[in-house]
Amino acid sequence: MNVERLPSGKFVANQFFLHCAMLAFNILRVIGTHLIKNKPLAPVKIKGQRRRLRCVIRDSISVD
């Protein structure tokens, strides 16, 4: 939502902007949850492995 820095120096304007961002976030979250729950073939959650960037670079360099 890009609300790290609020656009105005006025508290009321920043409060309004933050409330709009929260409302948009919550609406998108509800829509996403509703679509996933009502979808019969929801994607299976596959547990992935986390890799550090250092390991990925080392492995790509060491490939012959």
Which tens digits make up the pLDDT trace of 5-37?
777 888 898 899 889 989 998 998 888 777 667
Q: Give the C-alpha separation, 45 to 31, whole Å.
A: 19
Q: Is the Cβ–Cβ distance between 21 and 11 less than 8 Å?
A: no
Which of the four pLDDT bands, split at 50, 70 and 90, describes residue 4? confident
pLDDT of residue 1: 58
H/E stretch holding 46 reads none
Q: Is the Cβ–Cβ distance between 15 and 6 less than 8 Å?
A: no
| Beta carbons within 8 Å of 36's beta carbon, 6+ residues apart | 42
Token pair 């996403």 is found at: 32
Which of the four pLDDT bands, split at 50, 70 and 90, describes residue 52? confident
Query: The whole model's pTM is what?
Result: 0.53
